[in-house]
Structures are given as C-alpha cells and as structure tokens.
Chains A and B, each alone.
Chain A
Amino acid sequence: MYIAHLSLTDFRNYAGVELPLEPGVTVFVGQNGQGKTNLVEAVGYLATLGSHRVPNDGPLVRSGATRSIVRGDVVRDGRHALIEIEITPGRSNRARLNRAPVSRTRDVLGVLRTVLFAPEDLALVKGDPDTRRRFLDELLVARTPRLAGVRQDYERVLRQRNTLLKTAAQASAGALRTLDAWDAHLARLGGELLAARLATVEVLQPLVAKAYAHVSPAQEEARIDYRSGVELGDATTAAALADKLTDALAERRSDELRRGVSLVGPHRDDLLLSLGEFPAKGYASHGESWSMALAVRLAAYDLLCGDGGEPVLILDDVFAELDSARRSRLATLVAGAEQVLVTAAVPEDVPPQLTGVRHVVAEGEVRRVG
C-alpha cells in the first residue's frame, strides 16, 4: 500500500499543507526544527491513532488552533481509501473513512499500516519494558484491529482495580469483595491479550533473527522472547492463560493489597531481546543495540507484509544515527518496499540506494526539488 496524498491542517507547525506522494522512495530534507518529522508523524498517526513522539495529543495541534485535521489518501491494490482524523486534545477524536463518519475512531485502524523507524527506537533495546510492550501491542493491533478494544478495556479494568487497591486500606469489606469481580475481568481480558502477544512473538522470533543477520552479518544470533511475570507453563489459548492469571491473582492478593497496585497481568510483562547468550540491554554495544532495534522493526515490517498489505515504511532521521555499513545495509533492505518515506537533516546521510523524489522542508513549507 502507499499514501497518494497527505493533507494537514493546523498540525504541529503546519497551518495547511497539501502533499501529493508517490510509491517508491520519497526523501524529505531540511534543517532541524523545520517540520520533516511532523510530516511522517502525521502519517504514523493515521495508522496508529497515536504519535511516536508524544504520549498525548496536545502538542500535535498548532499553537493557537483548537484542533488539527490529518487526511491521507491510501491506495491499496489499486483502491483508494480516504482517512480523515480530527484531533481535538482533551476530547475524543473524530474520524471519517471515505467521507463517511465511523462510529468509533478505532474503526480506521488497519486501513493504513506503517512501520516507523525513529531515533526513539533505541529505547526498544535500552529503554523500559513499557516501550517494548507498546511496540508489541501496536503490532497486535495492526494485525488484528479488534485487539485495540481488548487493550483499551484491559487498561480500564486495570485503572478501576488499581483505584480499588489504592483505597483498600479505607475500603469496607463489601468494597473489597468487588475485587473478585475485577479479577475475573482482568483475567479474561489479560488472557486474550497474552494469547495474542505470545502468538505474535512466536512468528516474530525467526524474523528478528533473520533481520539481525542481514543488518549485522556474521555475528551472534538475535532472539526475542516473551517474559511474563506469571508462570504460564505451556498455556497458549486465551482461556488457559486466563486460568493462569486467575491462579496468580489469588496467590498475590495479599501483596497487591499491601502495595496498593496490580502486580499480576500482561501490563507487568516484557520482551527479552538477546544476542547469543546475553540480553541486549546492558550487554550490547551502541552499534549492536542499533542493529537490534532495526532488526525488531524490520521483523515487524516482514510480519505485516506476510499478513497481506505491505505497510508504508517510514525512516525518520535514522540514518544520522547509524554507521556507514549499517546505513547501507538498511538502505538495501528497504529499497524495494512499495513506499518509503525518509527524513534527513543532511542529504548526504541518505545512502545512494534510496533514490527517488526529494522535497525540501523549510519553515512549514514543503517544496519538491527532484
């Protein structure tokens, strides 16, 4: 798939921009702070309904405006689909698909799929578990949009349950009895989420190993494994995993009451990325960590391609972070993708394999130069 047209109104530093795009490679060059990343951030928003840079929508709206509008014309197998999202911070967003309002914004998920590489990706290897959980969950949702609802419901049950645990000291015996009811729903939704995560990691595993071997040839094998705080045994179905969670919740009940927070469930899990014998976090060099981060993203890209509908690849400022060998291998790997959007502050950072359309971005204006 590819985006044929991107249109922004009051998004970040853009008052209004209309940007026709083509399949193949498109490079946006311009100095820092001119709005290159904002363009690809908007494309990512159409795909995931979230920004890869900020956790909430406030900064996405141009200062002085109350809402932004992002529009993208997505072409898949020759068919056009127009996604429009109106972002109003503090309120729920509104979305339209082919000019018809959708009942829930998340109904537009899955229309456009992207895989975005950004300098922030290093946190996949070096950062906290929540970065890796978010990566995995976004991948689940891209593959199975229904899981966006499961994920949302799980978060809500978790918030309700944490509030209950936090106030447990003052709560009446009756209020504490409701904990069993929340446990039941935490286990049900958690089981569903866990089943999807485990299945995804299983298919991701060989793809990560393969991608790492391409990015960093002749080095140790890269692995990705799911690490759950709960002993899962060989359970793989949602129902069996829910049972495991139920047992673990019963076991940790007194700990949870004492600490006032939910200690059991997929929100406590992590992905273990390792190179050979060692975990990448703490052991891998800077270069190896980058290779690992790229391998994880490339594997996600591979996975989504396999599911049908090749995603749009976005490389946001990543070449500046890589040495020339990694740069050139990455460029070779992605050059054949249906659409690649690249941003770079220094044109020379973009490897010669990635030839295509060039735009110069300056002061909120985008100008095609070749």
Chain B
Amino acid sequence: MYEGVVQDLIDELGRLPGIGPKGAQRIAFHLLAADPVDVRRLAEVLLQVKEKMRFCEVCGNVAEEERCRICRDTRRDPSVLCVVEEPKDVVAIERTREFRGRYHVLGGAISPIEGIGPDDLRVRELMERLADGAVQEVILATDPNLEGEATATYLARMLSPLGLRVTRLASGLPVGGDLEYADEVTLGRAFEGRRLLDA
C-alpha cells in the first residue's frame, strides 16, 4: 500500500480493462514523474471525453454531435448498412477504405451467460432504420466467434422477412500469410468459402 492519493490512482487505473495491478503501478509512477502540463492535458481529455462524446443517435457509434461523422457524410451510400458489435469495429473497417456505406453499432453480442439479450443491443433501432426501405443490403460483420455468429444468425432470421440482401463477412485465410500457419478451423472455413476463379 502506498500513501494517500497515489494508492487511489493505482486502484482506479487497475479497474481499467487490460491493466493489472503491476501495470497500474507503473502508470501511476510514470504520471507522478511526468511533466505537470502533460498530466493536466490527460486529465482534461478524460473529462472532455465524458462531457463531449456521446453515441450517435442513428448508428450508435461514438460521436461529438447528435450524429456521428459517418452518418452526417452525405457521400456515404445509404443503401448498404454494415452491422458491427463495437465502435472499434467501425474504425477497423474504415481503415480498409473499401466500404462506402453506413454502419450500425449493436453495442455487443448476444450472450446469455453475461446476461446480454437482443433487448440489450441496438436491435430495435436497427429494425426501425430498415423500415423505410432505403437500405438494400445488410452486411453482418459481428465477430467470427460463437457469440458473434449466434448474433448474426439471429439477425439474419429477423431480417429475412424484409426481403433485403443479407450478407455475412467471409472467414478465411489472412492475406500475406502462409497456408501452413493457418489453424484448422480457419482453413476449413476458407475451403467452405472457396470461389471460382475467372480465367
């Protein structure tokens, strides 16, 4: 135990995801030794993130205004909607610069063990968004694990009466990798999803 506020800081940092007791201690002493200007800037950003940021009322992504940058952008294709679990998945897909449609962030995946059902996710909002018929294709881009797959299956079934094109991201081999290093499940999926080569 350290004296006073240092211990409080370690305790608070230790509560953050991905930071254990040792890591918390390291960060705390780093901050203690750091330039006061830097620490003040960090503190201000921490406060601002709670004050200024909110979730986009359309897609559920993080936003500084009522709508996020992507939902405000009129150049984005309104007929394609990509459904993801978390805001960080939006960032990952944006990095590809391949996708020009819009997003819908669910806020997680279905997991009864963690007490997360469809009512805890932004599924109702998704159905409302699809009601006006502007969206032609829904891409289900939930994580390729059991909970993500179950969520995708559930959504696919919900969406099938709407007559939309519902697609799922492909699973398979990482680009630039070696076939021999792929695990059997991934390789098996890649076999299932093989496609015809146009010669």
Instruction: Spell out A's residues near B (CB within 8 Å).
Output: 103-104, 107, 145-146, 149, 153, 156-157, 159-161, 163-164, 167, 171-172, 174-175, 177-178, 180-182, 184-185
Given the interface contacts A163-B112, A163-B113, A185-B146, does A175 sit within 8 Å of B119 by beta carbon? yes
Q: Is A181 a contact of B112 with CB atoms below 8 Å? A: no
Residues on A with beta carbons closer than 8 Å to the beta carbon of B185: 146, 149
Contact indicator A181/B184 (Cβ below 8 Å): no
Chain A residue numbers with a CB within 8 Å of B147 are 160
**Please, which residues of chain B bring their CB within 8 A of the CB of A161?**
112
4 extra A-B contacts, CB within 8 A, seeds A146-B185, A156-B146? A146-B188, A149-B184, A149-B185, A157-B150
Say which size band chain B's interface belongs to: 20 to 34
22 contacts between A and B (CB under 8 A): A107-B183, A146-B188, A153-B146, A156-B146, A157-B150, A160-B111, A160-B112, A160-B113, A160-B150, A163-B112, A163-B113, A172-B119, A174-B117, A175-B112, A177-B118, A178-B118, A180-B153, A180-B154, A181-B150, A181-B151, A181-B154, A184-B150
Specify which chain B residues have a CB less than 8 angstroms from the CB of A175 in the assembled complex: 112, 117-119
Q: Does B89 contact A (CB under 8 A)?
A: no
Across chains A and B, the number of contacting residue pairs, with CB separation under 8 Å, is 62
Instruction: Determine chain A's interface SS by DSSP, over half rule.
Output: helix
> In the assembled complex, which residues on chain B have CB atoms less than 8 Å from the CB atom of A167?
112
Would you call B157 an interface residue if the criterion is a C-beta within 8 Å of the partner chain's C-beta atoms?
Answer: yes
The answer, among B151, B154, B184, for a CB contact under 8 Å with A177, is B154
Tell me the residues in window 55-105 of chain B with beta carbons closer than 8 Å to chain A beta carbons.
none
Residues on the B chain within 8 Å of A177, using CB: 118, 154, 157-158
The answer for the CA separation of A163 and B147 in the assembled complex, in Å, is 13
Task: Report B-chain residues with C-beta under 8 Å of the C-beta of A171.
Answer: 117
CB proximity of B7 to chain A, nearest CB, Å: 25
Bound Cα distance from A146 to B113, whole angstroms: 25
At the interface, yes or no: B149 with Cβ under 8 Å from chain A? yes
Query: B113, B117, B183: which contacts A103 (Cβ < 8 A)?
Result: B183
Instruction: Choose one: A104, A156, A160; the contact of B183 (CB below 8 Å).
Output: A104
Q: A164-B112, A174-B118 are in contact. Are A182 and B150 (CB under 8 A)?
A: yes
B130 within 8 A of partner (CB): no
Taking a contact as CB atoms under 8 Å apart, the answer to whether A181 and B113 are in contact is no
Contact indicator B113/A178 (Cβ below 8 Å)? no
Q: Residue B110 at the A interface, CB < 8 A?
A: yes
- Counting chain B CB atoms within 10 Å of each CB, the highest count among A159, A174, A180 belongs to A174
State A35–B76 Cα separation when bound (angstroms). Answer: 69
Closest residue on chain B to residue A160 by CB atoms: B112
- Is B123 among interface residues, defined by CB-CB distance under 8 A? yes
Chain B residues lying within 8 Å of A184, measured Cβ to Cβ, are 150, 153
Decide if B183 touches A181 in the complex (CB within 8 Å). Answer: no
Residue of A nearest to B187 (CB): A146
**In the complex, what's the smallest C-beta–C-beta distance from A166 to chain B, in angstroms?**
8
* Inter-chain contact B110/A181, CB cutoff 8 Å: yes
Are A185 and B150 interface neighbours, CB within 8 A?
yes
B152 → chain A, closest Cβ, in Å? 8
B155 CB, min distance to chain A CBs, angstroms: 8
CA distance A175 to B117 in the complex (A): 5
Complex Cα gap A106–B60 (Å)? 38
Query: In the bound complex, how far is the Cα of B152 from the Cα of A180, in angstroms?
Result: 12
Q: How far is the CB of A190 from chain B (nearest CB, A)?
A: 13
Chain B residues near A103: list those with CB within 8 A: 183
- Nearest-neighbour CB distance to chain B for A159, whole angstroms, equals 6
Within B113-135, the residues touching A (CB, 8 Å) are: 113, 117-119, 123
A residues near B151, Cβ cutoff 8 Å: 181
A177 to B147, alpha carbons, bound, how many Å?
A: 15
> Do B110 and A178 touch (CB < 8 A)?
yes
Bound CA span A107–B150, Å: 26
Q: Nearest A residue to B119 by beta-carbon distance? A: A174
Residues in B whose Cβ lies below 8 Å from that of A182: 150
Q: Which of chain A's residues has its CB closest to B154's CB?
A: A181
Interface centre among A104, A160, A181, A184 (most CB of B within 10 A): A181
CA distance A184 to B168 in the complex (A): 16
Contacts A177-B154, A181-B153 given; does A172 touch B110 at CB 8 Å: no
Q: Which residues of A contact B123 (CB under 8 A)?
A: 174
Q: Determine how close the nearest CB of chain A comes to the CB of B153; give it in whole angstroms.
A: 4
Task: State which of B112, B149, B188 has its C-beta within 8 Å of the C-beta of A185.
Answer: B149
Q: Give every chain B residue within 8 A of A181 (Cβ-Cβ).
A: 110, 150-151, 153-154, 157
Smallest Cβ-Cβ distance to A165: which chain B residue: B112
The CA of A171 and the CA of B116, in the complex, are separated in Å by 11
**Proximity string of chain B (156-199) to chain A, C-beta cutoff 8 Å, 1 when within and 0 when not:** 01100000000000000000000000011100100000000000
Residues of A within 8 A of B158 (CB): 177
Choose among A159, A174, A180 the residue that contacts B113 (Cβ–Cβ < 8 A). Answer: A159
